[in-house]
Amino acid sequence: MREVLLKELSNSDIDWMLTTGSKDEIAPGQVLIRQGKPVDALYILLDGELIVSLAQSEDNPLGRAFAALEGGELTGREIARLSSGDMVGEIPFLEAYLPSTTVKAVTKSLVLAIPRQKLATKLQADVSFAAHLYRASAILLSDRLQQIINQLGNSTLVMSQPQLREILFIFAELRDSDIDWLIVAGSVSKITAGAVLIQGGRPVEALHILLEGKLTLAASEDDRNPLARAFSSLENVASSEKEFARLSRGDIVGETPFIEAPPPSFSVKAVEDSWVLSIPQWRLAAKLLHDLAFASRFYRVLAVLLADKQRGIVSRLGYGRLSYGKGQALDGSTQYENELSADFLAQVALAGARFDWMLKRIRRS
């Protein structure tokens, strides 16, 4: 994935990183990021190879059960390998999460380490840099998520529903002006029960925000190649699909064109009569190109949601969970892993108000 950073970052972005960061050698077997421990820097792999693995404590019966069902080991399960150009440690810059995986060197490696505080300041002060880095992060996270699904098996799709309610994050992160633009640029349409909004394996032509109703995500159990499946849908050839998630008001689908991901392998259908706000891909792409402040917020949203889906898979497989002893009391002075921050909770009311405001604007128009 080395071409991602070279393609997405500008010369000034790269110069700042080289000036600010330090080049560190990592010995084979050395742990760079430990699961559940704070990360103090963003790391860019310049040379060598890193392995991403999952660990699970012995006293977690759910973890042992999943490991037995999957025929895998309880600890140190490999889920991805990283090569030069990959980034690790980006999740703390996207959301207040501790790492859900361990990253260590397979071979002697060279990384560029950019201190967390300096990077956070740069992201706040330079919207151009933020837009470029968040987009690169979203692309790399999308690729890593696909690697994890491939390693753990497609059965993990049933467990990949996000832990965050997307409406609570998306509408807290975007500005009023962003939401206003989405309303003007998009169009509202009714999707009748049973109708297909996005066909699996086919190009996605719009970003969709679900306003009312329910949508279902279903993956095809057809083992033909994606091109054959796409054309079979044109010929009304029946294919077996398995539902793995349901979406409700405020959720989004159709983001793949903006992170250079392949067409989704799942179909999106209406469970009941539903209303969606659809923003054409070409209009949103033009907006992202010419409005860097909007782009930085949009790509940050996508990156956080992708990171959250990765954590969702890990958590639902029984890895990385906290194990509380029987009868253990929660300590108000202790910050527990996955605990929602006060800042996040404060954004919930704002997100709901913005979404309701958007619905009122749409109804008036």
What is the domain partition of the chain in residue ranges? 2-125, 166-317+342-364
Tokens of 72: 């895998």
**Matching fold, domains 2-125 and 166-317+342-364:** yes
pTM of the model: 0.79
CA distance 211 to 80: 36
Cα 225 to chain centroid, rounded: 25
CA distance 352 to 344: 13
CA distance 144 to 322: 24
| pLDDT per residue rounded down to tens, the chain (365 residues) | 468 888 999 999 999 999 999 999 999 999 999 888 888 899 999 999 999 887 655 545 545 555 555 454 445 678 788 999 899 887 656 665 678 788 999 999 999 999 989 999 999 999 999 999 999 999 988 888 777 766 665 544 444 444 445 566 778 888 889 999 999 999 999 999 999 999 988 889 999 999 999 999 887 665 555 545 555 555 555 556 777 778 888 888 898 888 888 888 789 999 999 999 999 999 999 999 999 999 999 999 888 888 877 777 666 655 544 433 444 444 555 444 445 455 555 666 777 788 888 888 888 87
Going by C-alpha positions, the residue among 141, 19, 151 that lies closest to residue 79 is: 151
Residue identified by tokens 């999106």 is: 268
3-state secondary structure of 96: coil
Question: In b/e form, how buried is each residue of 330-351, taking b as 16+ CB within 10 angstroms?
Answer: eeeeeeeeeeeeeeeeebbeeb
CATH code given to domain 2-125: 2.60.120.10
CATH code given to domain 166-317+342-364: 2.60.120.10
**Residue 311 and residue 297 in contact, taking contact as beta carbons nearer than 8 Å:** no
Residue identified by tokens 């690729």 is: 143
